[in-house]
Chains A and B, each alone.
Chain A
């Protein structure tokens, strides 16, 4: 009897989970979502091949001993039935170009071969393309993307908040010039086909970027776009200059188009979206008003502070309505540095583009990842958007690196 009631309870629970409309997400009219996979591990970035097989890079090896998970929806119901995986290293980056699958650890990039069926042929013996990159705990994840020529762009995040002599310490000055920038705090460019490259074989492509996790090559402009995580803790270290409320809104998270040699200004300046100016960092003598960074880029888009843009994807498909074509989707992880104010930003945003330039304000595309009213801390969030991929049919996939969910978002014609 007890067993039967347990079974019935399980059935009711299972039904209620499945019955959750759009996998619990809030979407624009005409869109729907399914929970493509769940509990696969700490799913960071995702990539999909032309057969519709989805691969997720995990930040940690999961319980099944995998760090890259392969997911396939065989019967087309929007839920992956076939799930397997391999890999012994944690990391963030994953990218598919043709029949090649690139994946990154926090200090290296590996290359796998796909066969005609879209299956990886060498799961235990990938080629090492790049190795020995700085991995110094903070901002260690290596995001990757490739251009049409086969060059690979790797983010090497700054192992620091604001390049202070003592990181995240009250009263510690910013180092001038910031010594981190010679080997981190920017985007490095390598040959996507050569083995065993490191700093000596690569090139610092762009600098002054504290930490970029979302990056994508825009085929329309034929250039690299990135989203930066702005600095933290203005109020903690400079309580006389910044209130808690000001810290919650400063600085903006930013999107840039980065051409070779460009500088986005970190650590010397941050972007204030209210003054619409690059403001000198207090570690470098700023007071919240003094401007700086004459030669640094202005952002193309300024998003609210601390929301942590994790993935950037230019939409190429035809499934979504016309306004989404060539526009940018950005997965936001959700904030932690707005405290003591409520945390925010557990969503996927959209920026419309026309002729390679933003053509309107950013908007929330998919929301509800965090669950109902739980925004006290990132731990409370049900899901934290982290990776984006566009399927061959134009559906958008969103990964979550807290509980390991994959959402599939489609437009119903």
Chain B
């Protein structure tokens, strides 16, 4: 078990390189068709309603599994984020494939003022197991 976790971390670190331009492009496409309507062109969200992604602590944070779950299964509770509350329901995206989720997460974690590690397919799959 210990070994498994360590090796996962090593693999994750190995892939945590600069966001690849091709992945960013694919992620951007998905963002524009599925996310932008609510989260806005600048990732700023809508006060009280739709949570911002830009400069959002959980988006650039370490809990990748939670981000994967929210995008895949949606989110139907009032969410507290960085001192504010957001109330609209987040749509589920059950049809997004692991590689698409990875590209989308890579994009939102490296757009606007966000600068965080790229997300790999392995991380998305690991998040799925965690559920």
Closest residue on chain A to residue B38 by CB atoms:
A336
B11 located at the interface, meaning its Cβ lies under 8 Å from any Cβ of chain A in the complex? no
Task: Provide the bound-state CA to CA distance between A59 and B48, in Å.
Answer: 9
Q: Is the CB of A378 within 8 A of B89?
A: no
Binding stretch for chain B, among A32-40, A164-172, A188-196: A164-172
Complex contact B47–A378 (CB within 8 A): yes
Residue on A nearest B77 in the bound complex, by CB: A137
Whole-angstrom distance between the alpha carbons of A60 and B78 in the complex? 15
Q: Nearest-CB distance from A83 to chain B (Å)? A: 22
Q: B92–A339 contact, CB under 8 A? A: no
Distance in angstroms between the alpha carbons of A168 and B87 in the assembled complex:
13
Q: How large is the interface on B (under 10, 10 to 19, 20 to 34, 35 or more residues)?
A: 20 to 34
Compute how far the CA of A376 lies from the CA of B85 in the bound complex, rounded to whole angstroms.
21
Chain A residues with Cβ below 8 Å from B85 are 60
Q: Give the distance to chain B from A244, nearest Cβ to Cβ, in Å.
A: 9
Residue contact A339 to B87, C-beta cutoff 8 Å: no
Give every chain A residue within 8 A of B50 (Cβ-Cβ).
336
Q: Is the CB of A380 within 8 A of B87?
A: no
Q: Decide if A138 is an interface residue (CB 8 Å cutoff).
A: yes
On whether the beta carbons of A137 and B37 are closer than 8 Å, the reply is no
One digit per residue, 1 when the CB lies within 8 angstroms of any chain B CB and 0 when it does not, for chain A 156-177 equals 0000000000011110000000
Q: A340-B32, A402-B47 are in contact. Are A378 and B91 (CB under 8 A)?
A: no
* Inter-chain contact A379/B44, CB cutoff 8 Å: yes
Contact A137 B91, CB 8 Å, known A377-B45, A378-B47:
no
Check A376 against B37 for contact (C-beta < 8 Å).
no
Question: Are B41's CB and A340's CB within 8 A?
Answer: yes
How far does the Cβ of B103 sit from chain A's closest Cβ, in whole Å? Answer: 19
Q: Which residue of A lies closest to B49 (CB)?
A: A336
Report the minimum CB–CB distance from A136 to chain B (whole Å).
9
Across-interface contacts of B42 in A (CB, < 8 A)? 376-377, 379-380
> Which chain B residues lie closer than 8 Å to A340 at the CB level?
32, 36, 41
Known A138-B89, A169-B91, A340-B32: A236·B37 in contact at CB below 8 Å: yes
Interface assignment of B27: CB less than 8 Å from any CB of chain A:
no
Q: CA A380 – CA B46 in complex, angstroms? A: 10
Q: Which residues of A contact B (CB under 8 A)?
A: 59-60, 137-138, 140, 167-170, 232-233, 235-236, 336-337, 339-340, 376-380, 384, 401-402
Closest 8 CB pairs of A and B: A379-B44, A377-B40, A137-B87, A377-B44, A336-B46, A376-B42, A377-B42, A236-B37
Chain B residues with CB under 8 Å of chain A are 32, 36-38, 40-42, 44-50, 52, 74, 77-78, 85, 87-89, 91-92
Provide a sorted-by-A list of 17 A–B residue pairs whose CB atoms are within 8 angstroms: A137-B78, A137-B89, A167-B89, A168-B91, A169-B74, A236-B37, A336-B50, A339-B37, A376-B42, A377-B41, A377-B45, A377-B46, A378-B44, A378-B47, A379-B47, A380-B44, A384-B47
